[in-house]
Amino acid sequence: MDKTNLTASGLWAELSEGIKSSINEQTFATWFEPIRAVGLEETALTLEVPSKFYYEWIDKHYREMLLSKIKSATGKDIKVRYSVLIGEPDNGAHPRELDITPAGPLTEDFYDSGSRLNKRYTFSSFVEGSNNQLAKAASISVADSPGQTSFNPLLIYGGVGLGKTHLLQAIGNKVMFQTPQPRVHYTTSEKFTLDFITAIQNNNSSSFSERYRNVDVLLVDDIQFLQKKEQTQEQFFHTFNDLYQRGKQVILTTDKHPRELYGLKDRLLSRFQSGLIVDIQAPNLETRIAILQKKAEDDNLEIPYEITELIATNVRGNIREMEGALIKLLAYSSLSHSDITIQLAKRALRETLGRSGTKTVSIDEVIQSVSETLDVPEKKLIGRGRKMEVATARQVAMYLSREIVGASLENIGLHFGGRDHTTVIHACRAVKRKMGDKTDFHRKVDGIRSQLEF
């Protein structure tokens, strides 16, 4: 090839032949066929990849091989530039360029340096289901009119990996897109704490206050980590008040309802509960399948429906674990030089999740197990009886429904005769306290849990 007249497509064609001879056909088809060369400069080759996932995988496993083959083909240390389309296409998003140099790591990422927002988290990429409809609707409403609705603060709570961070950042991304001069800042409670400590150490509290108060929208993830950090809570209280009084929007996430959080000051809890509180529950089977299909579509992957159904059926609750199982399956396929089949998927799931990870437990099953173990009829468990043994069994059933099933407070209350969420919170606290005080009781509750999970 005439190295003085190289084109991007010509160079990539030559590189592809070299790569194909170095790896197996299945791996090449999975990771390299979807790539297009879209630009060639003196010092850089730009490759368009379907998603960040592709970029991360190629950079981790084939970086040195790729750079070596480029040098062999060109005689130069040409760096690779990956172009990934992020954001919402209908919003006029353009590819962001991610540089890989022969000597160093990624020089920029998918985050907006000012707002700290990940541009991949948008409302269009969020899969809606019955488990999150209210949370998504409230988030869109806030994003459309930040600080102008009664949803201030908006607090989204739910278990790990259910999409709280996605919604939180989707709000910020939409505000950033539709506002001429947006002042949006995303942080975690841990980052807020670290910034506060640093400001104290450097005697620079004014700079800290300006950073967090000179915004129109403040997004704070995982506020449960403010528990027992009294000085940080005090600073956050004043930051919250200042923003609220000036009509600025605050959006928060936590893993539990505020009333279940220990170690937070009452006046801070009062502020958290002064706006709208919405929960995200574990997705049902149909929503889990839709999430996996959306993930495969976004990453330009062809995954048979029966395999997405298998993963969605066997991984419950945590969306991150479900997506992790899909990535694990792709890794198995590539590294074992095998096609993606139902047999391969079953093997990957078994090794990744083990037996307990493939079992789904419902509230009704919890009630049945508690009834049988504690010898209290199911009708009494969900009824209004107040005898000590009945009330204790009911509290245990509520506690396990929360801990194992991951059901929302409202859903648990409905299963137990329409009780409100405060009753469920009280039950969970009572069981935890009793488990700490009485070893026999603790052992009995653990026994029921083991029966349900295994």
Give me the pLDDT at residue 358, please: 44
Domain boundaries, the chain: 3-100, 133-280, 285-358, 363-453
Residue 388: Cβ within 10 Å count? 7
CATH (residue range 363-453):
1.10.1750.10
Query: Which of 219, 224, 277 has the alpha carbon at shortest distance from 250?
Result: 219
Give me the pLDDT at residue 19, please: 87
Give me the pLDDT at residue 396, please: 93
Instruction: Provide the pairing of β-strand 79-85 with 44-48.
Output: parallel
**What is the C-alpha to C-alpha distance for residues 240 and 338, in angstroms, rounded to an integer?**
54
What values do phi and psi take at 220, rounded to 5?
-125, 120
What values do phi and psi take at 217, rounded to 5?
-135, 125
CA distances from 49 to 34, 68, 291 (A): 7, 20, 21
Give me the pLDDT at residue 430, please: 92
Hunting for tokens 């209350």 — which residue is that? 413
> Quick check: helix, strand or coil at residue 179?
coil
pLDDT per residue, tens digit, the chain (454 aa), is 455 567 888 888 888 888 888 887 767 877 888 888 888 887 788 888 776 667 777 777 788 888 888 888 888 888 887 776 544 433 444 444 444 443 333 333 344 445 578 778 889 888 888 888 999 999 999 999 998 888 999 999 988 888 899 999 999 999 988 877 778 889 899 889 988 888 888 888 888 888 888 889 999 999 988 888 888 999 999 999 999 999 999 999 998 888 888 888 888 888 888 889 999 988 888 888 888 888 887 777 778 888 888 888 777 667 877 877 888 787 777 777 777 777 777 776 765 555 444 456 788 889 999 999 998 999 898 888 888 999 999 999 999 988 888 788 888 988 898 888 889 999 999 999 898 888 888 888 888 887 786 5
Give me the pLDDT at residue 142, please: 93
**What is the C-alpha to C-alpha distance for residues 408 and 257, in angstroms, rounded to an integer?**
9
Alpha helix segments (H runs only) across 150-225? 164-178, 189-201, 205-213
Give me the pLDDT at residue 65, please: 85
Q: Are 167 and 154 in contact (CB under 8 A)?
A: no
Q: What does the DSSP 8-state code read for residue 159?
A: S
Hunting for tokens 């083990």 — which residue is that? 354
Give me the pLDDT at residue 351, please: 57
Domain 285-358, CATH among 3.40.50.10320, 1.10.8.60, 3.50.50.100, 3.40.50.300: 1.10.8.60
Give me the pLDDT at residue 160, please: 81
Give me the pLDDT at residue 114, please: 52
**What is the C-alpha to C-alpha distance for residues 121 and 431, in angstroms, rounded to an integer?**
38
Which residues touch 200 (CB under 8 Å, ≥6 apart)?
Answer: none
Q: Which two tokens stand for residue 427?
A: 């039950």
Which amino acid, one-letter code, is at 264? L
Residue 321: Cβ within 10 Å count? 16
Give me the pLDDT at residue 99, please: 41
Identify the bridge partners of residue 85 per DSSP, sorted by sequence position: 95
CATH (residue range 133-280):
3.40.50.300
Q: Are 239 and 212 in contact (CB under 8 A)?
A: yes
Q: Are 36 and 47 in contact (CB under 8 A)?
A: yes
- Cis bond upstream, residue 153 (ω within 30): yes
**Global confidence as pTM:** 0.58
Alpha helix segments (H runs only) across 75-111? none
Fold of 3-100: GMP Synthetase; Chain A, domain 3 (3.30.300)
Helix (H), strand (E) counts: the chain: 19, 9
Instruction: Provide the pairing of β-strand 217-221 with 184-188.
Output: parallel
